[in-house]
Structures are given as C-alpha cells and as structure tokens.
Amino acid sequence: MPENASKIGVGMIGYAFMGAVHSQAWRTVHRAFDVPLTPAMVALCGRDPAKAAAAAAKLGWQSVETDWKQLIGREDIGLVDICTPGDTHAEIAIAALAAGKHVLCEKPLANTVDEAVAMVDAAEKARVKGVRSMVAFNYRRVPALALARKLIADGKLGTIRHVRAQYLQDWIVDPEFPLVWRLDKEKAGSGALGDIGAHIIDLAQFVTGSRITGVSGLTETFVTERPLVASSAGLAGEASTERGTVTVDDAALFTARFDSGALGSFEATRFASGRKNAMRIEINGSDGSIAFDFESMNELSFHDHTEGADIAGFRRILVTESTHPYLSAWWPPGHGLGYEHSFTHEVYDFLVAIEAGRDPEPSFADGLQVQRVLAAVEKSAAAQSVWTAIEGANA
C-alpha cells in the first residue's frame, strides 16, 4: 500500500456467511492492492454478545457492539458495511448515511421498492456532503465478467440480440432443510428471485450496458412447509419437530425486454439438483457471443461471428493475465482466483471511489433498478397477466 495512505475505520453489521466473506475482503484488500485508504477493522456488530465476540476474534475485528445504532455513532468508524437480512437494510443504511458514514450494503438493496426509494433519497442527500454508498453486487468484480463488459462496450459483439441468464443452486432440495430466515418473506423479501435472481438481473444490465424495461414472470414454491429452526421453536439445542410455512418462492422464471431492443430469459432456482453455484450468462450479438459459468469462473467463452465459417466457433479465454481486469494484483497467468476475490475487488473499488470523491458503482440507484425488476416479476407472476392456458391440458 502507498506510504501516504490514510486509514478509514470500518464497522460491519452481521457476521454470518456474508459477514465472513466481507471480513476476508477487508483483511486482504490493502495487502493485494495499492489502496488510497487503508481499512481498519474497528468493530463487528451482532445481537448475541458471546457469538459476536467469537466471530470478531475469528474474523479479525478489534471490538464488538451489540446495537447497530451504537456502532454507527462511533467516531472511529467512517464506513459501515451492512451484511444483515434485507428487512434491516433500509433502516440501518439511512441512519448511517445521515450520520455521515460511507455505506456498503449487501444485495438486494431492500425488501421493497419503497424502502429502496428511501435509501436512494438518503444516498443522494449524503452524496452532496461527500458521503458515498454502494450496493454489493460482487459478481461485477469477477475478472471474466468485467472482461465481458469490456468486450461488449468495445463493440466486439455488435448489436445485442439475446441475453440468457441462470442462477442454479440445490441447497434446499431436501424438504427437511430447516425454515431459515432466507425462506421468510418478512426477513428476506423474496426467495430465489431476490436472493440469487437479483445477481443475474444486475449482471445482465451491467455486462450489456442496457436496462430491463418489462418482464413476464412465473414463480413457484415446491416445498411449502419446513421444520422450524430450533431457536424459532423456543428450544435449546434440540431439533425442532414443529413446522412452519415457507413464504417465499423456491424458483422464478421470467422473460424480459431491454431498452436496447434485446430479449432476455432468466431463471433462478434453489432446486436444481446437482448445481451448487451455477451462475451462467450467455449474450448473443450480431457480430459474436460470449458465455460464462461461475463454476468455471476463470474462463470466458467468446465467439467471433465475423470470422469465416471454416474457423469460427467458441474459444476459451483463460482470464488470468495481468492485463485482464483486477489480475495485476494477483498471481502469475494460469493461477486462478476464487469466489472471495470478487469481494476484495469490490471493497477496493469502493475505497478508491471514496478517496477520489466520485460515485461508486453499483449505486443505490442501480440497486433500486434491480428492486423494480424484482417487484415487476412478482407482480406479473401473481397476476398471471400474460398466462395462456392450454386447452385440454388438464383433461
């Protein structure tokens, strides 16, 4: 890191899966990149004092708070990282911005469009005072996807015609998997649609540089009841025999139109048996195509349709060269990166934007756009507004 780099105190709220991976990024960023601001991992916040203290010790945080309001009020914290369930994002982010803290907020930005609008309004007011905010769509920072965006921006694919995006997981295929918070609409906002569908919505818009203008959606909940988590059933360390209702979607499908005229198809499911984290996107243009699968995250497939048919076809680009996005900070060519590196790149970009006094991307406004798409898919699916029944299919 530069010798004259200033420090910025970071406070993180939440310490589960996202908290752990964000902590890895804060520990690593100034050791991999020359950052203008060096993060100090000042405080971790969680409601359970013992669990929060254990997490802080494990993840590298200097102190613990059990009230997020106390955390954002600390003078030694200049940046607040929100890694909590979606139902708390708006309240925490708005308060932190009002307190003059820069804010990094996990996706999706909020649970509702109204909450997201309020967050954007707060971000705009804070921005005038030099306070920055960013929503954490980490997949934008995968080098292969950043390269895909560059290829499209450079015109390598010509006019974009089709976008196909999938996010396939299988972690709740088992009907006895417990009713965790991600399956509760009040906490999570939606199911596969908001949790993983938000990623491919943002990614499709980011890579193509176009916005979705309309959708037609379909959602389904395959397992409607699940065992309660022991703590939810009021039990102490015992398996719960009680069951509760799943209030979110297990899978979502929708078609879309982009403002560029391109058509899109999207699928998000946590019921794709055998698929662990298969986030895929394929984009077809008049002059070529690209295809990406996160389970091979260091590779990008590229087809140049301007080449003659005798040599044309998809070719594999190993995205590990120092000239590829973010790669100059890491390993020699051929030595691939992992999931956690996308978060390191994310906080690096945020720190650079803060120091430079410019607006980081994706902004809260970008997060609001994704929220509007999520809401439109839910509305379309609920209304079945363009659903056409097949005559005789139920005979």
**pLDDT per residue as tens digits for the range 187-201:** 999 999 999 999 999
Q: Is the pLDDT of residue 340 over 80?
A: yes
Please provide the average confidence, as pLDDT, over all residues in the chain. 94
Name the residue among 377, 84, 370 with its Cα closest to residue 248. 377
Q: What is the largest CA-CA distance in the chain?
A: 76
List pLDDT tens digits, range 248-277. 999 999 999 999 999 999 999 999 999 999
Q: Is 10 helix (H, G, I), strand (E, B) or coil?
A: strand
213 with 258: CB under 8 angstroms?
A: yes
Which pLDDT value is given to residue 168? 98
Which pLDDT value is given to residue 241? 79
Q: Are strands 299-304 and 133-136 parallel, antiparallel or unpaired?
A: unpaired
Alpha carbon 384 to chain centroid distance?
Answer: 28
Mean pLDDT for 122-143 is 98
Confidence band, pLDDT 50/70/90 cuts, at residue 229: confident
Q: Is the pLDDT of residue 235 over 50?
A: no
Confidence band, pLDDT 50/70/90 cuts, at residue 393: low
Q: Is the pLDDT of residue 388 over 70?
A: no
Name the residue among 14, 202, 183 with its Cα closest to residue 108. 202
Confidence band, pLDDT 50/70/90 cuts, at residue 236: very low
Name the residue among 171, 194, 175 with its Cα closest to residue 244. 175
Q: Is the pLDDT of residue 1 over 80?
A: no
Assessment of whether the complete model's pTM goes beyond 0.75 = yes
Kindly list the domain boundaries of the chain, sorted by start residue.
6-138, 143-296+298-337
Q: Is the pLDDT of residue 183 over 50?
A: yes
Which pLDDT value is given to residue 193? 97
Residue 245 identity (one-letter amino acid):
T
H helix or E strand, kind and range, residue 303: strand 299-304
Q: Is 329 helix (H, G, I), strand (E, B) or coil?
A: helix
Task: Identify the architecture of domain 6-138 in CATH.
Answer: 3-Layer(aba) Sandwich (3.40)
Residue 31 identity (one-letter amino acid):
R
Provide the token pair at 70. Answer: 């106390």
Domain 143-296+298-337: CATH class, spelled out = alpha beta
Which pLDDT value is given to residue 145? 98
Mean pLDDT for 361-365 is 98
d(CA 180, CA 320): 37
Q: Is the pLDDT of residue 395 over 90?
A: no
Which pLDDT value is given to residue 185? 93
CA dist list (Å): 135 to 220, 351, 360: 27, 13, 9
- Using CA atoms of 173, 200, 82, 130 in order, give the dihedral in degrees to the nearest 10: 180
- Using CA atoms of 362, 363, 368, 369 in order, give the dihedral in degrees to the nearest 10: -50
Beta partners for 227? 243
% the chain with pLDDT above 70:
93
